[in-house]
Structure 1
Amino acid sequence: MRIRDQKIKDEKQWIEGYEHNLRLAYDLMKDELKTLHSDKVNQGNTIKLVLWLNIIFVGISIKVSEEGSDIYLLGIFSLIAFFSIFVAFVGLMMGRYSAYASMRRASSFYKLNNDKWIKTQGLETATQTVQKAIRYNGLIIIKRAKLIRISMYITLSSLFMLLILSAHTVYIKQGNEMADKPSKPAVTVVQNPSIKRANDSAPKTPKATPESNSSKK
């Protein structure tokens, strides 16, 4: 009887220890899952920033094109900007439903056997569910990070093309203004008639010659 009681006691102690370790693992995984959710939110904010930057760049390019810009440069910029928007939008939609991954196996709790292992089985099921959610969200974050990196590089390229487009447009505009500007006519000086008559009527002083100088001597 004592041996049986000791076995039951040892088994109960082992189960309690196992459940305690499962709770520790579950709590750690929940904290990790919260961290992943926070990272996912930060990634979403970064993607939205990239989207807004490219939309602003497109608006600036439309304004610049109204001033008369090179169609070739405008086409290259438009392709780069819209490709960056597409990549960022794909990354934004990729993690749309990842927050609900931990609830996909909630129905498994209703299939547990009603015995002494029911608490342990529940903890194991919860731990496995959170573990799968961590794996799912982790893969989403890794894929998103790659898309964010690509979209950031493309956004920098679109900014560089926008600067070239703006500088080229300003250069063309200044050239057109210089071409349309009329040349200044030559300035002719017109003498006042009254001043001219006064100069003509004034007595002229004869120039001294060598002969007149010798006669004076």
Structure 2
Amino acid sequence: MQPESADPAAAPRRLVLATRNAGKVTELRAILSEAGLGLELVGADAYPEIPDVKETGTTFAENALLKAHALARATGLPAVADDSGLCVDVLGGAPGIFSARWSGRHGDDRANLDLLLAQISDIADGHRGAHFACAAALALPDGRERVVEGRLEGTLRHEPAGSGGFGYDPILQPLGETRTCAELSPEEKNAISHRGKAFRALAPVVRELLGS
């Protein structure tokens, strides 16, 4: 695919989010729009001809940068990507970068969640600490890059609760909360989430590098 625009003044007005997850696109668009960047934000589904990038990194930051650079090169536009997951204390930080495919089927939220709950079913409440981690990366077509990170600490419920969010949201209860992430409103979740923290930290970087 040829870059969308050869005009460096025009290209930065669109920022591509390297995800086809509709829930994540909506969430990230809301977070970045609140920063008043004045950019058009589109998901990777606007470019169906671009193949998904294999997440071969060993950290969230490496995977986020891989995806952002691949999309920036393919579109000729600035691209933002994130990689995030659930890190469980008693599992030594797993599922971690394998969160989306923990059950062996990528993106099968229910299978991933059920497997994780089975694996820690005999763990007492006092030892069910976990956190969501997110690395958010910005890559420009000229090769410049920046990455920031955010975390949401919490504990794991024994049973899912709530119908909002996605992934492991129904079982992570943030510290200081009585509800799971899936029981929070989108606004409440964005205010405290690992992804919200990471992308709010990335917003001034976008403004700095793109002059938006």
- TM-score (structure 1 length as normaliser): 0.23
Hey, which of these two has a bigger chunk of strand by percent?
A: 2
- If each structure's helix is expressed as a fraction of its own residues, which one has the higher value? 1
Greater RCO (CA < 8 Å, at least 6 residues apart): 1
TM-score normalised over the length of structure 2:
0.23
Q: Which has the larger radius of gyration?
A: 1
